[in-house]
Amino acid sequence: MKLTPKDILAGHPPPIVALCQKLRRLVSSAIPQAEERAYPGWHAIGYRHPQAGYLGGIFPFDEAVKFYFEHGARLPDPDHILEGTGKQVRYLSLTPGARVPTRSLRALLAAAVSRNWSDRRQ
């Protein structure tokens, strides 16, 4: 049986589900051509672009939601909203009730789609 994003969100507190739904709408409007998939092994809702490949995903937790960017370490982040110190991945951590940095997140999504990740010089 193929799981859906609704399955990933099942059992989470309503404020976490609402935040995830807001992020899902944001990604869908910012990158309409991105395919949304449920990743049960990661317990995430991920996004794949036809040309750019896997962009990242929404990871719900009990107290917060993290949006991970697969190549976040190489994205421009002028507003310094991304966290993490790994060589590749960066994430945005959000809690229910906190302001979602919509403009910054849209810019990061656009940059993630426009990058050529096979070119190591970027």
Domain residue limits, the chain: 5-114
Token readout for 55 is: 């962009």
- Residue-level length of the chain: 122
pTM of the model: 0.91
Query: For the chain, what is the HEC assignment?
Result: CCCCHHHHHCCCCHHHHHHHHHHHHHHHHHCCCCEEEEECCCCEEEEEECCCEEEEEEEECCCCEEEEECCHHHCCCCCCCCECCCCCCEEEEECCCCCCCHHHHHHHHHHHHHCCCCCCCC
The tens digit of pLDDT for each residue in 8-54 reads 999 999 999 999 999 999 999 999 999 999 999 999 999 999 999 99
- CATH second-level architecture of 5-114? Alpha-Beta Complex (3.90)
The tens digit of pLDDT for each residue in 5-17 reads 999 999 999 999 9
